[in-house]
A and B are shown apart, each in its own frame.
Chain A
Amino acid sequence: MLELLNSLFIAPFDYGFMQRALVAGLALSLAAPALGVFLMLRGMSLIGDAMAHAILPGVALGFLMAGFSLPAMSLGGILSGLLVAGLAGSVSHMSGHREDSAMASFFLISLAGGVMLVSLGGSSVDLTHVLFGSILAVDSTALVLIAAISSLIVVVLAIVFRALVVECLDPLFLRGQGMAGGLVHGIFLGLVVLNLTAGFQTLGTLMAVGLMMLPATTARFWSKRLEGLIGLGILIAMLSTSGGLLLSYHLELPSGPSIILLAGTCYVLSALLGRHNSLLDKLRRRDAPLVARDAD
């Protein structure tokens, strides 16, 4: 029995590449879900997706200039992500249009530009690598970079946490208190870009969003408190990462999709069986008799 458990869960991590993949995945799991929870609560669930496309041209440029070097590609990704976030913010401020329309326009331009750059300078294999990542190819440099970015995100998020909460509820409160409008929002988007840049090596630019959003949206079926959402999100992300890696090892599946599909399975199960507002919860409530709640 012990032997079976060992061969299922422990032995795969005897390999160096599996160890690095696990550590990278766990580091990302600590940082990403909290950002996802705030994106979700601000009604910006799809902004993460847009930002993921926005980092592509920078990653491609880094790749063209320095070859397959994670620091160069990450730096490019961060810069182009921040540029798109800044441009989208400025255009929406100038025009008065909602930020998501400007964001949609810029991320599409970025996506096309990025794919164009990769195709001009590399092969389709490179493109797949950038788009879908390969967590099993994480080397020590990449690991340090991922861990450093994740730690930075956690620390900065802790510093702006209260401001972020206050701003989510009442955006004008902080401006009334003299804080520059959009400062907190800008820092927050910067963190999202950082996180996606750390994630693209492991899961690819497109699926890095998955580790951010799916744990957050899943947690919503289980908790109504902010700390609960973040804590559960981290737990779900960690389980999905380790589970996904094991699945991909044993069944010879691609690792990135395994991780995200596992998180996706958690989401679907939670939507059906979760504690709050799931299908099961709705059915149960319909059958329950009226309970006298304290009068409103």
Chain B
Amino acid sequence: MARLALRDLSLAQGGRTVLEHVEGQFPDGAITALIGPNGAGKSTLVQGIMGLLKPSRGHIDCSVPRERRAWLPQQLALDLSFPMSVEELVMTGTWPSHGALKDYCGPHYLKAREVMARLGISHLAHRPLGELSGGQRQRALFGRTLMQEAELLLLDEPFANVDIETIEVLTGVLREMARQGTTILVVLHDLDQLTRLADDVLWLADGHAQWSTTQAVIDHRQRSLQSMPPLKPTHPTDAPHARTAK
């Protein structure tokens, strides 16, 4: 049985129902993409899974302990002008084991160094976050997440404002984590990244959810591209399962 499952889940934000009757399991050790138009409830679902929002109906079964769940919000939601170095940020990922008081010790610093090397940011260890580019910041934030040794990882638009090289490094890291058994959920807008990253897709639209595979979504997109005038952009809402979804 999967570590994370949704049972007849309904979620509401400020009195407005955003998602209704969502059912299903997120497979362990796989990357599931959450896609759908703006306002479809992607972030709301993430908040629900992180335990920040109580379901208005049904429930979320999650056997991962709270401190092993990690959430990486969009960069815009973070105050990255705070005077903190990359290494200090990465070290805050030890919170589950160290909390507010316990002193950082040698092995953890070594681990932080390994993590930074893996993300290619060792040379930036002592640079303040405010001086980094978008891609470097995202790598540093991934560093914190890796230190958390998460079993469940939720990411919101991890590749927004990030350079191609960083996307490749981070995709590799996420694939590796999934291989080691971490359950990963990624909110994505860009369908190109979907191909590269996700195994499964949870499509949200009009308050409902539809499970699918990456291949099916890509195939559908190909078809809709061919059948449409070349300049018209495709929207996820054009998908048939978004309309028929229950």
A positions within 8 Å CB-CB of B: 41-42, 96, 159-163, 165-166, 168-170, 172-178, 223-226, 229, 294, 296
> Within 8 Å CB of B132, what residues of A?
296
CB-contact partner of A173 in B14, B82, B95, B136, under 8 A: B95
Q: How far is the CA of A223 from the CA of B123 in the complex (A)?
A: 21
How far is the CB of B237 from the nearest CB of chain A, in Å? 28
Not counting A175-B52, A224-B128, a sample of 11 additional A-B residue pairs whose C-beta atoms are within 8 angstroms of each other reads: A41-B83, A162-B92, A162-B100, A165-B82, A165-B92, A169-B78, A169-B89, A169-B92, A174-B95, A176-B69, A178-B67
User: In the complex, which residue of chain A has the Cβ closest to the Cβ of B135?
Assistant: A296
Number of A-B contacts (CB under 8 A): 72
Q: How far is the CA of A166 from the CA of B132 in the complex (A)?
A: 19
> Within 8 Å CB of A226, what residues of B?
83-84
Q: How far is the CA of A231 from the CA of B85 in the complex (A)?
A: 17
Q: How far is the CA of A163 from the CA of B50 in the complex (A)?
A: 19
> Within 8 Å CB of A168, what residues of B?
79, 82
B positions within 8 Å CB-CB of A: 14, 50-52, 66-67, 69-71, 73, 77-80, 82-85, 88-89, 92, 95-96, 100-101, 123, 128, 130, 132-133, 135-136
Asked whether A170 and B73 contact (CB < 8 A) given A159-B101, A294-B123, the answer is: yes
Q: How far is the CA of A225 from the CA of B126 in the complex (A)?
A: 10
User: In the complex, which residue of chain B has the Cβ closest to the Cβ of A162?
Assistant: B100
> Within 8 Å CB of A165, what residues of B?
82, 84, 88, 92
6 contacts between A and B (CB under 8 A): A165-B82, A165-B92, A169-B78, A176-B69, A178-B66, A225-B85
- Report whether B100 and A159 are in contact in the complex, using a CB–CB cutoff of 8 Å: yes
Q: Which of A166, A169, A172, A175 has the most CB of B within 10 A?
A: A169
Q: How far is the CA of A225 from the CA of B135 in the complex (A)?
A: 22
CB-contact partner of B78 in A170, A175, A177, under 8 A: A170
How far is the CB of A285 from the nearest CB of chain B, in Å? 14
CB-contact partner of A172 in B71, B92, B123, under 8 A: B71
Q: Which of B77, B79, B85 has the most CB of A within 10 A?
A: B79
- Report whether B100 and A163 are in contact in the complex, using a CB–CB cutoff of 8 Å: yes
How far is the CB of A159 from the nearest CB of chain B, in Å? 7
How far is the CB of B15 from the nearest CB of chain A, in Å? 11
- Report whether B100 and A176 are in contact in the complex, using a CB–CB cutoff of 8 Å: no
User: In the complex, which residue of chain B has the Cβ closest to the Cβ of A184?
Assistant: B100
How far is the CB of A157 from the nearest CB of chain B, in Å? 12
CB-contact partner of B95 in A96, A166, A172, A225, under 8 A: A166
- Report whether A166 and B92 are in contact in the complex, using a CB–CB cutoff of 8 Å: yes
> Within 8 Å CB of B136, what residues of A?
296
Q: How far is the CA of A175 from the CA of B50 in the complex (A)?
A: 9
Q: How far is the CA of A175 from the CA of B162 in the complex (A)?
A: 27
User: In the complex, which residue of chain B has the Cβ closest to the Cβ of A227?
Assistant: B83
- Report whether A41 and B95 are in contact in the complex, using a CB–CB cutoff of 8 Å: no
How far is the CB of B179 from the nearest CB of chain A, in Å? 24
Q: How far is the CA of A172 from the CA of B89 in the complex (A)?
A: 15
User: In the complex, which residue of chain A has the Cβ closest to the Cβ of B148?
Assistant: A177
> Within 8 Å CB of A160, what residues of B?
100
> Within 8 Å CB of B88, what residues of A?
165
How far is the CB of B244 from the nearest CB of chain A, in Å? 34
- Report whether A176 and B82 are in contact in the complex, using a CB–CB cutoff of 8 Å: no
Q: Which of A172, A173, A176, A224 has the most CB of B within 10 A?
A: A176
CB-contact partner of B83 in A96, A161, A177, A225, under 8 A: A225
